[in-house]
Amino acid sequence: MLQDNNDIMEKMMIKARAHSNIALVKYWGKKNIALNTPAVGSISLCLEALYTETGVLFDPELERDELVLNGRPATEKERNRVSAFLDIIRRESGMKQAARVESANNFPTAAGLASSASAFAALALAASRAAGMNPDGQSLSVLARMGSGSAARSLFGGFVEMHRGEREDGRDAFAEPLYSADYWPLHVIIAITSEASKKTGSTDGMELSRRTSPYYKAWVDSSEEDLAAMRGALAGRDFQKMAEISEYSCLKMHALAMASNPGLIYWNADTLELLHWVRALREKGTPAFFTIDAGPQLKIICPPEHSAAIVEKLSGHPAVKRTIVSALGPDARILGA
C-alpha cells in the first residue's frame, strides 16, 4: 500500500532538469540582499555534464515542506532555504499547500562544485509549474535569481548573459540566452584539486567584499566594460580575446576577494600551480584558458578537439585529483513533458 502511494506521488511530481554553469565574466557582490540582485552583470557557459533533477509536489496532507537531497533527508538549514524559496512561489501563485521536494545532482556534491545554480534553476522551473504558474523565461529567471544569483543563468543553454538591472524591485535583473550551445562548440575541463567544502560561502564572501574591500567600487565600475568586451569576443568567435577577458575577470574577482578584510583566499597551492600550467600551455600554442569560482577547482576552457590531450596531460599532474569534461549544455526543461 505504501509502495502504491509512493508510486502515485512519484507520478504526480513535476520534475525538471537544469544544468550547472560557469561564468566567464564573473558575478561578485549584491545590490540588494533581500531581492538577491547582483551588483554586476555576468556572462556564462552552460555545462552539459553537470545537472540537477528536482521533483516538486504540493500536497494538502503536508504540514510543512519536506526536502530529500541526493536520496537523504535534508538538514534543517537546507530545508529552510528551499522553504523560503517556495514561499516566494506560493506568494506569486496563490498556492497554499506545503510541498514535497526531491532533488539530486548527477555529480558528487562532495567534489566542491557549486550546485546552487542548477539546483535553484531546476527548483524554480519545477515548483512554478507544480503551483500552476507558467512564467516566461525572463520571469522564471527572476524567480531563480531569488534562490541563487547564478541560478538565473542556469535556465538557459549555451552562452548566457545575466543583467544586473536598474529597477528597485529587481524585475529587470534576469538572465537571457546570447547564443545556443552549437553556435561555438567548446569544452570545459574541471580539474579538481580538493574535495573539501569551502569555508566561506558566496553570499557571506560577497558581503564581506562589499563592506571591506577597497577595490569593490572599481570592480563594479569596470564590469560593464568587461561584459561589452566579452559580447564582442563571442560575436566574433575570437578565442584569444575570450581567454584574455575571462582570465582578467576571474583574477580581478579573486583580487577583490583577497583584498577583503579578513582576506578571502579560495585557492590552494595546487590551484595556483595549475593556473601557471594553463598559461604555459597557451604560450606553447594550445588554445586554452582558466577560470576559478569561489573554491579551489580550476576550470579550463578549450575547443573540443584539444580537450582529450589536455586531460591526458593533466591526469599525470600531482595537483589534480580528477577531472570532469563537459560540452556546452541545453536549456533547463520539464522532464517527461
- Using CB under 6 A, list all residues that contact ligand PMV: 23, 26-28, 42, 114, 116-117, 148-150, 202-203, 293-294
Q: Which residue has the cell 582529450?
A: 308
CA distance 137 to 102: 23
Type of residue numbered 132:
G
Q: Which is nearer to ligand PMV, 281 or 294 (CB)?
A: 294
Q: Which is nearer to ligand PMV, 202 or 271 (CB)?
A: 202
Q: Which is nearer to ligand PMV, 113 or 181 (CB)?
A: 113
Instruction: Collapse the DSSP code of 201 into the 3-class scheme (helix H, G, I; strand E, B; otherwise coil) and give the result.
Output: coil
Q: Report the nearest approach of ligand PMV to the CB of residue 203 (Å).
A: 6
Q: Report the nearest approach of ligand PMV to the CB of residue 208 (Å).
A: 13
CA distance 44 to 161: 6
Q: Which is nearer to ligand PMV, 55 or 147 (CB)?
A: 147
The number of angstroms, rounded, from the C-alpha of 287 to the middle of its chain's C-alpha atoms is 24
Q: Report the nearest approach of ligand PMV to the CB of residue 122 (Å).
A: 14
Sheet holding 322-327, edge to edge: 289-291, 298-302, 187-192, 322-327
Q: Report the nearest approach of ligand PMV to the CB of residue 190 (Å).
A: 13
Q: Which is nearer to ligand PMV, 123 or 281 (CB)?
A: 123
Tally of CB atoms within 10 A around 146: 21
Q: Report the nearest approach of ligand PMV to the CB of residue 182 (Å).
A: 23
Q: How far is CA 38 from CA 32, 162, 285, in A?
A: 7, 9, 36
